[in-house]
Chain A
Amino acid sequence: MNREALASLVLAAGLLVVPLIALGLDDPFIVTLATKVAILALAGAGLNLALGFGGLVSFGHAAFFGLGGYAASILASHALNYEPVFVWPFEISGTTSMPVIWLVAMVAGAIAAAAIGALSLRTGGVYFIMITLAFAQMIYYFAISWPAYGGEDGLSIYVRDSFPGLNTLDPLQFFLICYVVLMVALAFCFVLTRSRFGLALQAARQNATRLAAVGIEPFGIRLMAFAISGAITALAGALYADLNRFVSPAMLNWHTSGEIMVFVILGGVGRIFGPVAGAALYIVLEHNLGGLTEYWQLPLGLLLLAVVLYARGGILGLVSRQVRHG
C-alpha cells in the first residue's frame, strides 16, 4: 500500500473515531466539529473533481454550496407552512425528508453548474476563474435582494430534516449520516477518476489539444465534470444548512468559494482524500487559532501563502512525497 492510500485510511478512520471518543468523554461539541469537517470535505470533494482532476479552476463553487443550502431550507419551510414551492408546470410541495431534499439539491446544483459551465467553458484559463466568480456573485446578490426567502437575513430551518429510521437531532446520528454520505461520494470520485470518463477528464487537464486530436471534445467532458462537481457541492450545502438549521446569503459569498478552494489545496489537489485533510486542518485551525485571537485569518493567510509558495502538493503531497500521478 502506498503512503497516500495509508494516509487516506488514517483520515477515514480518524474522522470516524474522534467523535466517538469525544462522545465517550462527554464532549458533544467535538461531534459537531467533526460533522462540519465531513460536510466541508464533501463540498471540497465536489470542487476537487473539477479543479483537481479536470483542471477547471472554479472560483464560484459557493454558488452550488449555497443553492444546496437554499434547496434544503426552502423545501423545509414550505413543508412547515403547507404551501407548495410552486404549482406550475408541475407541483412541488415542501418536504423534510433528507433523501428527497438531497436529490433536489443535487439536481439544482447540477443544473446551475451546467448553465454556468456552458457559458464559462467557452473560454479558458483566467477568464474561467473570473466568470465563475462573477456568476456566483450574481446568485449571491439575487439571494440578498429577493425577499421571499429571507433576503439578507437568511432563512431558518425550525426542525431538522428527517431521515427514515434515524433520529437526526442526535448529534452522533447526524454525524454518521454526513460521514457515510462523504465516504460514498469519495468512493464515487475514486471510481469516476479511473473510468473512461475520468481518463478523458484528466487528459483534458493535461493536454486538451491531444484529447481533441484523438476525437473527444474537451468541452463536453469538462461540462459533464463541472455539472457532477456542482451536484456534489450542492449536496454538501444541503447538509450544511441542516447542521446549522439556517441558511443565509453568506453561504453564496465569494469568500465561501475561496474557503472551499483552500480545503482542496491545503489537503492536496487531485487526491481523493485531499479535501478531508484540508477541511480537517482548516477546522482545527479555526477552532484553535480562533480561540486565541479574533484575527485568526491573518495567520491562516500567512500559512496559505507559505503552502502555495513552498509546499506545493498540500498535506497529502507532503505525506506521499511524490508528484501527483495522472
Chain B
Amino acid sequence: MVEPVLSVIDLSKRFGALAASDHVNLDLMQGEIHALIGPNGAGKSTLINQITGAIRHDSGSIRFEGQEIGNLSVAERARLGLARTFQVSSLAPEFTVLQNVVLAVQAASGHVFRFFRPVLTDAWLVEPALGYLEQTGLKERSGVRTADLSHGEKRQLEIAVALALKPKAFLLDEPMAGMGPEGSKQLTGFLDGLRTEAPILLVEHDMDAVFSLADRISVLVYGRVIATGSVEEIRANEEVRRAYLGEEAA
C-alpha cells in the first residue's frame, strides 16, 4: 500500500459549543487533486488552518510524509513542504510582485540570516522567481507594487509564491474566489498540470472546476466528512445531495 503524502487522522476542534472539525479523516495521495467541498461554515478553512498550523487542533493527528506535524509551527510545516494559498489574498502589499516571489525563493533556499548581499541583484534568487512569474503569467507585472495588482493578478501571485516554495503538497484555499469565468478557466487548466509537481488539496466553491479537476472529493458538513469518493460517487451520493439541497432550501 502506498503511503499518503498528507493524512489527517481523527482530527477534532471545538470553538465553545461549535464543533468546527468533528473527527475528520482525510488523506492526500501522490499525484492527485483531492477537492474539499461543503456549504459555507462547514469548517473547510478551519481545517486548512489546522493542517498549516495557524490553528491548533484539540485532538487527532496530522501526518505529512510519514511524520507527525501536529506540534510544529506554521513556519516549520511550511519548511517541510506544505505550501498554502489564502482564501483572501495575503501578500506583502508594499513589495513589488518580484519581491514577494523572491521572499519565497529565499525561504525555500533556507538561508535567511544573510545581511549584506542585496537580494534583487542575486541571480540565484531572481532568476527562479522570474521563472515562477512566467509560469503564472505575471512576468510583465514583476515590477508592480503588489497592492496595485488586480484581484485576479493577486490570486495568480498567490500561486506563484506557492510554486516558489517547491512544495511536496499544495493546500489551495478557494483559488478561484472572485475570479471571472475566463480567469477560472485558465486557472483550471493551470492547476490540471500542477498535480504532477505535487498533489493538491483543493478547497473550492466553483463546482465546474472541482468536477473537472478532482480525482477524489470529500464533502464536509458541520465539521464532519460525510462522504469521500470519486466524482461519480459523490454526484450519486444521497447524503451529499440532501446536505446541499437542505442548504439551498434554508
Indicate whether A and B are direct neighbours in the complex (CB within 8 Å).
yes
Which residues of A does B touch, CB under 8 Å?
191-192, 194-200, 202-203, 206-207, 209-218, 221, 224, 324-326
B95 at the interface (CB under 8 A from A): yes
A213 touches B99 (CB 8 A): no
**Smallest CB–CB gap between B110 and chain A, Å?**
8
Inter-chain CA distance A192–B114, complex, in Å, is 9
Residues of B within 8 A of A191 (CB): 115-116, 118
B94 at the interface (CB under 8 A from A): yes
B71 at the interface (CB under 8 A from A): no
A199 touches B106 (CB 8 A): yes
A212 touches B99 (CB 8 A): no
Chain B interface size band reads 35 or more
B99 touches A195 (CB 8 A): no
Inter-chain CA distance A158–B75, complex, in Å, is 52
Kindly specify which of B85-93, B130-138, B199-207, B239-247 makes contact with the partner chain: B85-93
A–B pairs, 21, beta carbons within 8 Å: A192-B116, A194-B120, A195-B116, A195-B118, A196-B113, A196-B117, A196-B119, A197-B115, A206-B95, A207-B90, A210-B92, A211-B75, A213-B74, A213-B75, A213-B78, A214-B103, A214-B107, A214-B165, A216-B112, A326-B99, A326-B145
Inter-chain CA distance A75–B28, complex, in Å, is 63
Residues of B within 8 A of A224 (CB): 113
Residues of A within 8 A of B78 (CB): 212-215
Q: A212-B73, A216-B107 are in contact. Are A194 and B90 (CB under 8 A)?
A: no
**Smallest CB–CB gap between A216 and chain B, Å?**
5
Give the A-B contact count at a CB cut-off of 8 A. Answer: 104
B92 touches A194 (CB 8 A): no
B79 at the interface (CB under 8 A from A): yes
B52 touches A213 (CB 8 A): yes
A203 touches B92 (CB 8 A): yes
**Smallest CB–CB gap between A226 and chain B, Å?**
14
Q: A209-B54, A213-B74, A216-B75 are in contact. Are A203 and B115 (CB under 8 A)?
A: no
Q: A197-B115, A199-B119, A213-B78 are in contact. List 11 more A-B contacts (CB 8 A).
A: A196-B112, A196-B113, A196-B117, A197-B114, A198-B115, A206-B94, A211-B103, A214-B108, A217-B75, A326-B92, A326-B99
Residues of B within 8 A of A207 (CB): 90-93
Q: Which residue in chain B gives the minimum CB-CB distance to A214?
A: B107
- The secondary structure that dominates the A interface is helix
Inter-chain CA distance A195–B116, complex, in Å, is 5
Residues of B within 8 A of A196 (CB): 106, 111-115, 117, 119, 125
A215 touches B90 (CB 8 A): no
B96 at the interface (CB under 8 A from A): yes
Residues of B within 8 A of A211 (CB): 75, 103
B75 touches A195 (CB 8 A): no
Residues of A within 8 A of B95 (CB): 202-203, 206, 326
**Smallest CB–CB gap between A304 and chain B, Å?**
25
Q: Which residue in chain A gives the minimum CB-CB distance to B77?
A: A215
Residues of B within 8 A of A221 (CB): 112
In the A-B complex, the 10 residue pairs with the smallest Cβ-Cβ separation, listed nearest first, are A215-B78, A326-B94, A215-B79, A212-B74, A326-B95, A206-B92, A214-B107, A194-B118, A196-B114, A217-B75
Residues of A within 8 A of B104 (CB): 214
B90 touches A209 (CB 8 A): yes
Residues of B within 8 A of A218 (CB): 75
Other-chain residue from B76, B108, B112, B117 in contact with A200 (beta carbon distance below 8 A): B112
Other-chain residue from A197, A199, A214, A216 in contact with B99 (beta carbon distance below 8 A): A199
Write the B175-197 contact mask toward A (1 if CB under 8 angstroms, else 0). Answer: 00000000000000000000000
B221 at the interface (CB under 8 A from A): no
Inter-chain CA distance A224–B107, complex, in Å, is 17
Inter-chain CA distance A209–B113, complex, in Å, is 19
A212 touches B117 (CB 8 A): no
Inter-chain CA distance A321–B120, complex, in Å, is 24
Residues of A within 8 A of B54 (CB): 209
Residues of A within 8 A of B79 (CB): 215
Q: Which residue in chain B gives the minimum CB-CB distance to A194?
A: B118
Q: A203-B95, A207-B93, A212-B78 are in contact. Are A217 and B73 (CB under 8 A)?
A: yes
Inter-chain CA distance A200–B113, complex, in Å, is 9
B33 at the interface (CB under 8 A from A): no
A214 touches B161 (CB 8 A): yes
Inter-chain CA distance A211–B93, complex, in Å, is 12
Residues of B within 8 A of A326 (CB): 92, 94-96, 99, 145
Inter-chain CA distance A106–B71, complex, in Å, is 37
Inter-chain CA distance A326–B165, complex, in Å, is 21
Residues of A within 8 A of B161 (CB): 214
Inter-chain CA distance A286–B111, complex, in Å, is 45
**Smallest CB–CB gap between B8 and chain A, Å?**
19
